[in-house]
Structures are given as structure tokens and as C-alpha cells.
Copies of this chain bind each other. A is one copy, B any other.
């Protein structure tokens, strides 16, 4: 049973390979009557797309989305929405030298052993390029959630390599190529400049949040809201860790401080990250991710080839030195996809959800 469909009621079925003719997805379950056009989707695709700064891969893809179905006279009809993105700048020759060897830290080894075959061009199906359809679907989810509940999404980078980034303001995030919540990114530019020169790559830590989340989303016992968020985030390429609210810091907390006190004016803190018992409380959803360093680097690595023989490998081609840089819009999209799915799931069993009430709005 393959796993290329995300969600249960708002489902996104993803297809395509990095160097095939096109990539895309089919959304099934979008409520009818939503105003939707390509421009609604293109904005987030543009935030994610490659080639926009010298700190990301130089592959030049416009990532222009086409709506093939499910929209009539500018409104969703409740039928499947097929989204298509042409691949335009494949250079499969770049990969010639790595066809027969496995990159340390890369998916190629696992794909080869799983399927007995792989499309090696640009990482084939394992390429981060396949997050584009996810972002496109997420844009549809965001729009619906915004219109129905006023839910909004934000994300930023909070650490790159060893360099922690102190949070200043969400306002700065769109103004720099790092999605950094700071006014001055010169330290980041220097850091990334050094990294590129070294031919190496580094990890990153991201924060992603949702505001104005309806109370009551999440389906215990097993499909808790935090469980499904963790599923979504850990499934994002290169993610190795996920935290909700206080995350790993909760280990050293006492119950008397961790539990967020309630008052008639709302919660007094948000260690829970907006989720208790697997169900949203109306507080902001707070998620943190660890993204590993890109495996495709210019430093030679010891590895084996498909025959099991030892060899050494350098990965040329166009790669992101820190794949975390472009991951913020993807993480936002995934969070939106989880929330819309749970909003529909909740509506099925319990009827319409309630937006966050005044008493819980305080401690965001």
C-alpha cells in the first residue's frame, strides 16, 4: 500500500519525479463554493521555488501551476482539483556520475533496495522538488481555513547550523531569503557564504505556527492532532525531529509549571503548543522542526556502489547547501493540510467546529 496520498478527508495525491515531464497533485474533498484561481496558489509556490537567491539551488523552475479540474467559473465545485506543474529545467546529465553509487545520507540506497529499481534523475521521486505539489495543495487549504475560521499560518527559521536566530518579529520573515525573523541577516549571509565555499551543508531548525485555530480538532485515540502534525512534519524531506509546544524542554519541567493555567481570560502560557489530549484548545499551534544537512555535498565521501564495492563520491549538480532554507512554506502547507483535514473530520462526526472563544485567546 503506497503512501502518496496525504490526509483522509481533504486528500492530496502527489505524483511526479524531479526530472519527469511534470509534477502535480489531485486534491479530493475540497468543499465546494470556495473562490479559487491559480494566483491563490502561486504565491506560496513562489516562496518555495528554487533559484531565488544564491543560498539555494540554482535550478531555474518557474513552478507555474495549472488548475486542470474542479473549478468552474472561479469556484471549487466539490470535485477533484488537479494541479499540474511542468518541469522545465531538468539537467539529468548532472547526475551521470552518481548513478551507480549511493550518497551517504541520501534516499537512493533505500529506494534501490525497496523497489529494485529507481529513477536516478535528480533524485527521482525522493527529490525535495516533490514538495511543490504539497505547497500548492496547502495554499488551497490555507485559503479555506482563512475564510471559514480566520486561521492563519506563519513560519520562520530559528537556527541554521550552530547559529541560533533570536526571534524579533514575523514582519522580517518575508524580507530575507532565509525566512529569518530578524532585521539584520548579515550574520546569516556570512555563515552561509562560508558554508558554500567549504562545499559542505548544514542543518536548520524551523518554527511553524497557526493562529485562530478552532477548538476541538483532533481524533484520539490514535489520530490526535499532534500525532498527525508529527506525521506530516517528520515526512517532510530531511526532518529528523519534531516538537509540539515545549517539546523536549518538557522533560525537565515540573507538572506545576508545564500545565498551562486557565483563567476566564484564557490560558496563561502555551507549553501545550495549542494541543491537549491530542485535541486543539484554540491556542496557537506551535511546532518546531529539526532539518538535517543536505546529503548532496562537494566533499568526497566513502560509500559503496550498487555492486557493494567501496568507492568515493562527490555530488556535483545544483543542490541546496541548507535544505531548511526553503522548507518554511512547506511546513506551513503541511500544517494547513493537517488542520483542514481535521476540520472536516470534526465536522463529519460533531458538526461544525467553533472558532476560538475569547476566554482562550489571551495566552497566545
A240 touches B2 (CB 8 A): no
In contact, A3 and B223 (Cβ under 8 angstroms): yes
List residues of chain B with CB within 8 A of the CB of A224.
Answer: 3, 234-235
The residue from B66, B161, B231 contacting A227, defined by CB atoms under 8 A apart: B231
CB–CB B230/A234 < 8 A: yes
| Smallest Cβ-Cβ distance to A106: which chain B residue | B276
Known: A26-B15, A233-B230, A248-B241. A203 touches B253 (CB 8 A): yes
User: In the complex, how many angstroms separate the beta carbon of A19 from the nearest chain B beta carbon?
Assistant: 10
**Contact in complex: B304, A219 (CB < 8 Å):** no
In the bound complex, what is the Cα–Cα distance between A124 and B78 (angstroms)? Answer: 12
Partner of A244, one of B125, B228, B240: B240
Q: Judge whether A201 is part of the interface by a CB distance below 8 angstroms.
A: yes
Give A161's nearest chain B residue, CB to CB.
B252
- Picked from B23, B226, B255, B262, the residue with its CB within 8 Å of the CB of A293 is B255
Provide the residues of chain B in CB contact with A197, threshold 8 Å.
none
| Contact status B347-A351, CB under 8 Å | yes
In this complex, what residue of B is CB-closest to A160?
Answer: B251
Q: Specify the main secondary structure of chain A where it touches its partner.
A: mixed
Q: In the assembly, what is the distance between CA of A21 and CA of B162, in Å?
A: 49
| Least CB separation from A20: chain B residue | B69
Nearest first, the 5 closest Cβ-Cβ pairs linking A and B are A107-B277, A3-B223, A105-B259, A3-B219, A227-B235
Minimum Cβ distance to chain B for residue A104 (Å): 3
| Complex Cα–Cα for A79 and B81 (A) | 20
The reply to whether B117 and A72 contact each other, CB–CB distance below 8 Å, is yes
Query: How many Å lie between the Cα of A23 and that of B116 in the bound state?
Result: 31
Q: Is A215 an interface residue (CB 8 A)?
A: yes
Q: Does A280 contact B (CB under 8 A)?
A: yes
Q: Are A109 and B220 in contact (CB under 8 A)?
A: no
Q: Is the CB–CB distance between B251 and A118 below 8 Å?
A: no
Our pick among B21, B80, B297, B344 for the contact of A15 (Cβ within 8 Å) is: B80
Assess the A255–B294 pair: CB atoms within 8 A.
yes
Q: A110-B281, A221-B3, A308-B359 are in contact. Are A203 and B116 (CB under 8 A)?
A: no
Q: In the docked arrangement, what's the CA distance between A303 and B265, Å?
A: 11
| Residues A16 and B68 in contact, CB atoms below 8 Å apart | yes
Contact B220 A254 (CB under 8 A): no
Q: Are B17 and A203 in contact (CB under 8 A)?
A: no
- Complex Cα–Cα for A216 and B109 (A): 9
Query: Could you tell me if A4 and B221 are in contact, using CB atoms closer than 8 angstroms?
Result: yes
Contact of A113 among B3, B79, B354 (CB under 8 A): B354
Bound form: Cα–Cα A102–B262 in Å: 8
CB pair A115–B29 under 8 Å, yes or no, is: no
From A109, A271, A354, residue with most partner B Cβ within 10 Å: A109
Contact assessment for B13 and A110 in the assembled complex, using a CB-CB cutoff below 8 Å? no
A243 to chain B, nearest CB (A): 4
